[in-house]
Amino acid sequence: MMSTPQPPPHPAHFHQSQAKQARPPIEPQIRPPSVSDKWIPPVLQDKVTTDLAPILSDPTLLSALATSHPSYTSSQVPLSEQLSSNIALATHVQETANKLTQLREQTQALLLQHTTLSSQWRRKQSDMDKALEPWSPKAKYQRLVASIVEQEAIVRAIEESFLEGGSHLGAYGDEGFYSAGGHGTAKASDRDIGDWVKRIRENVQILEMRKEMRERWDEGRVGGWR
């Protein structure tokens, strides 16, 4: 039966285990002496009663004798280690706080720079849109519509020149075209008639082409633009 793989340890637990492994083993503490042990500091073991009387009346000497037992030094080892660990953690926290302050200042400067660049870009984009406005789809469509109206006016003017007479062609009579210029009326030549027909065909062709372009535009078949 296959065993289920264990999940990887949490990073915080990993660092704690590393710290425990790096920490030297703590020696077992020495138990303080009890009354039944009748412990006497070695320095007093060869003293007589008259020598001990001044010591009993001096609290400082009594306190010093109390710290001469090996248990006192042994009890100070864990405290010293904890103090050293606290100092190291406080130093690490202070360094982290300094780095955080520096990163915060850098982030604030980058944010201010981003805001400035964003404002500059919006102004540049506005200027670019204004510069490209004549070539925008909307402007092109408006020019196309205006060109259709203009071409219709040109075709209408050519047709009116056929009905009313112009510099080359006059009215249409039973015997053909007559020129209205000069004295009296003169029949228009075949060349004048051919020129007029050519002009009307060319301009009508341009008009139809522009109308077709507009229809294609309205149907969305001009480069994907509407």
pLDDT at 88 (0 to 100): 96
Strands 186-187, 176-179: pairing kind: antiparallel
Whether residues 197 and 115 fall in one domain: no
- Residue 31 has a pLDDT of 73
The model's pLDDT over 168-196, given as tens digits with 9 standing for 90+, comes to 444 443 344 444 444 445 566 788 788 88
At residue 225, does pLDDT exceed 70? Answer: no
For helices 190-218 and 137-164, give the axis angle rounded to 10 degrees: 150
The number of domains in the chain is 2
Q: For residue range 71-83, list pLDDT tens digits in order.
A: 777 778 888 899 9
Whether this prediction's pTM lies above 0.75 is answered by no
Q: Are residues 122 and 146 in the same domain?
A: no
Statement to judge: residues 129 and 53 lie in one domain:
yes
Based on the fold, state whether residues 142 and 108 are members of the same structural domain: no
Q: According to the model, what pLDDT value does residue 20 have? A: 52
Per-residue model confidence as pLDDT tens digits over 6-55: 555 554 454 455 555 555 555 556 777 765 666 777 777 777 778 777 87
Q: Are residues 143 and 93 in the same domain?
A: no
Confidence label for 69 from pLDDT (cuts 50, 70 and 90):
confident
Flag whether 14 is in a domain: no
Count of alpha carbons within 13 angstroms of residue 159, beta-carbon side? 9
162: domain range?
Answer: 136-167+188-219
1, pLDDT greater than 80: no
Res. 166: pLDDT tops 60: no
Q: Has residue 201 been placed in a domain?
A: yes
115 plus 152 within the same structural domain: no
Q: What is the mean pLDDT of residues 102-113?
A: 97
- φ/ψ of residue 3, rounded to 5: -85, 145
- What DSSP character marks residue 179? E
CA angle 160, 165, 166 (to 5 degrees): 95
